Structure 1
């Protein structure tokens, strides 16, 4: 961490560090080579198809001219795939720039906090007024520095080592005059993407908001159109080539499935009915409703998937539900536990939603994502291993060293 006085105010600079970033960058660069080849092939294929349709010429020499229906179906599918492929490549390029040439400049002045992100030749700037800053915290030993505001949490930086992020957070609090243990004084509000509704039965419930629902419907509807166009093209082709028939049947079945999902998203929803001391998960489709689960308490947990990505989840627990284990693998909902929402790395949405539901329904909320809670759970796990026997003691020592190394490195 580099702290200095500049003309704009007091500045902290944090850069990407750690040897493992070169391994990740090398893998992404290798993947980007294949991405560039795929991008070029797809664009060439698409351009040739458009020219063949415009000129009425065959796609390749020695073949008959393209038929409009199958050509449009294949072109629509290819265009959708190319859009997703291009987006994935842009994200990978951004990650390579962050790993190799990433730098965050945090500038504090009388107006508040300015975040300047440098990713190679690209720069972005964001300003947070001082009167909106409530707290500056780090939730986990290897987590990012985040700012809490009335509108939600804003990631300040995740660059630098763990110690550098701790130092920068303390320095920012000192310069801005924010106490580390400053409580939240703003009223609890639902996070973006969620809304309170009154059901036809006159009850309060929480579900995804209308804008999020419309976006989901549009995305799945576009996928249904692309699948339908592909299925149509394959069906038409199967009339002339019987060997295409099995693939056409699979495409038609997939189109029916995606179309049904579109109808479900448009007319149905899952909602959490707010009771007195309980939250009831209800499935609603048109005028049909069904209660599928009742939760008596809430829990914020950290879980990891098969790629070791960290997810912050808000879960509702029923009667007799067991407590979660620290850093457990992501699991599906069980008989006594239902996942309300989960977000990759950022705990702001699950935490705000959990606080709102806890207050509205009068159910307890246990936050297991705070650094203190996670450290206590890790310590308990190590103690249990120490008492389990010789093998457990060896495992406890190895895990203890791994946890210590994680806290000291980026």
Structure 2
């Protein structure tokens, strides 16, 4: 932390010896990456300029160099993040805040609205937790650089400087505000109700990925057209590829001009589709529920859906592992739109009770199956009793 005339600046840089091992590996990998990139680009340039070379090899290298370029850019970003990066948060005398992110020679500045920040805190509660600014509808990540102790001290000092209160004085009477999870954003139009939409930054990344996919597909199609001039049989592959390229091109247009969104009316959630200036209502719901789905392999997934009986529920979002973000999103929607929210995901205690009940039912079936089944049930009871005795004795040891 440094102080100037009326300003206070918090600086966060990479720390820890482990980052040098990561940087050394990435630097070595990037040397090999550069050799492969140059060779692939040289071959493709020669093929397009002179027509020399095999068409299947050119098609393979076009796909490979696209994925290889993305991997190289990601590795370079992590290398710079480990060695040459800095996050700054500046608090001016009037309380205004500015965040500056530096990655190598690149810098990005962003002003933060002081009035919309409730407090600063270190998220996740662990050593890898990021310093975040808690806003009324979401959490804004400030930095993951620096040590965990440095981020915690910065959060305390920022709350003191700005007069913010990180925790309510009475959590029973003043519960913490429900915060919109990452991946979503609320738009407040000049007229009409608020809109819940996917995070524009996430959609920009999706457009970038789809643009790379389109670049590969249309590049493959161009190579096939060039090869088709010498071999008409190539069109057998070109027609399906053209259909896939058209579908991905439409996906790029949809990501640029269209979106699905939720309009938050009082006690009503309206699902609608927007494309340019055209708007179409797809459904309405008046309640939310979080459900758990278990497939044939026993894998669990979670689904937050808006119910509209007797119609089919409308999907809000889904996750394959942790339902925490869906639970947070459901609570936020329920508080914002004043609709009921039912969490149907069982707790760990409820899961243990279900397993115990199922085990007891199977034991009773085993005992009722005959003499051999009764003997097996008795042996099972003895094993469980011995396990319970060991569990009771373990704390005394």
Aligned to 1:234: 224
Alpha-carbon RMSD across the aligned residues, in angstroms, is 6.0
Contact conserved, 1:297 with 1:318, CA < 8 A, in 2? yes
User: Is 1:9–1:109's contact at 8 Å kept on the other side of the alignment?
Assistant: yes
1:179 aligns with 2:170: no
Tell me by how many angstroms 1:178 deviates.
1.3
Structure 2 match to 1:359: 336
Preserved contact between residue 26 and residue 79 of structure 2 (Cα < 8 Å)? yes
Rg comparison, structure with higher value: 2
Does 1:41 pair with 2:30? Answer: no
The one-character-per-residue Cα deviations of 1:311-338 (angstroms, maximum 9, x if unpaired) are xx9933669xxxxxxxxxxxxxxx9894
1:297 aligns with 2:288: yes
* Cα separation, 2, equivalents of 1:173 and 1:287: 43
Shift of 1:166: 1.8
Which of 162, 166, 172 is matched with 2:152 structurally? 166
**Structure 1 residues 258, 36: closer, same or farther in 2, change over 3 A?**
same
Q: How do 1:248-259 and structure 2 match up within 5 A?
A: 248=238, 250-255=240-245, 257-258=247-248
For 1:280 and 1:128, locate their aligned partners in 2 and report how far apart those are by CA, in whole Å: 31
Take 1:102 and 1:288, find their aligned partners in 2: how far apart are those partners? 45
Q: Equivalent residue for 1:134?
A: 118
Instruction: Tell me the equivalent position of 1:315.
Output: 304
Aligned partners of 2:184 and 2:197 also within 8 Å: no
Q: Count residues in correspondence.
A: 325
Q: Which residue of 1 aligns with 2:375?
A: none
**Shift of the alpha carbon at 1:266?**
8.7
Work out the CA distance in 1 between the residues paired with 2:204 and 2:109: 30
Distance in 2 separating the partners of 1:282 and 1:126:
31
SS at match of 1:147: strand
Q: Offset at 1:116?
A: 4.4
User: CA contact under 8 A between 1:300 and 1:350: conserved in structure 2?
Assistant: no
Unpaired segments ≥5 residues, structure 1: 53-57, 65-69, 302-312, 320-334, 369-376, 398-410
State the distance in 2 between where 1:278 and 1:284 align: 19
| Structure 2 stretches lacking a partner, 5+ long | 169-173, 293-301, 357-383
Matches within 5 A, 1:269-348: 270-272=260-262, 279=269, 296-297=287-288, 315-316=304-305, 338-340=315-317
Mapped partners of 2:282, 2:327: distance in 1: 25
Using the TM superposition, give the Cα deviation of residue 96 of structure 1 relative to its aligned residue in structure 2, in angstroms.
1.4
Partner-residue secondary structure (3-state), 2:134:
strand
CA distance in structure 1 between the partners assigned to 2:155 and 2:254 by the alignment:
45
Q: CA deviation at 1:161?
A: 3.0
Partner of 2:167: helix, strand, or coil?
Answer: coil
- Superimposed CA distance per residue, residues 10-36 of structure 1 (whole angstroms, 9 cap, x where no aligned partner): 444433234543454344334423432
Q: TM-score, normalised by structure 2?
A: 0.54
Aligned to 2:14: 16
Seen in structure 2, the aligned counterparts of structure 1 residues 49 and 130 have a Cα distance that, compared at 3 Å, is same
Change (3 A) 1:299 1:131: same
Distance 1:161 1:390 in 2: 43
Q: Partner residue of 2:379? A: none
Mapped partners of 2:195, 2:108: distance in 1: 39
How far apart, in 1, do the equivalents of 2:101 and 2:208 lie?
Answer: 32
Matching residue within 77, 88, 96 for 2:79? 96
How far residue 177 of structure 1 moved from its aligned partner, in angstroms, is 1.8
Partner SS state of residue 81, structure 2? helix
Does residue 140 of structure 2 align to residue 154 of structure 1? yes
Higher alpha-carbon deviation: 280-289 or 15-24: 280-289
Q: Is the 8 A contact 2:304 2:318 kept in 1?
A: yes
Q: Which has the higher contact order (CA 8 A, sep 6+)?
A: 1
SS, match of residue 140 in structure 1: helix
Q: Deviations over 1:150-197 (max 9, x none)?
A: 796432221233333222211221222211126899x99x99766589
TM (normalized to structure 1)? 0.53
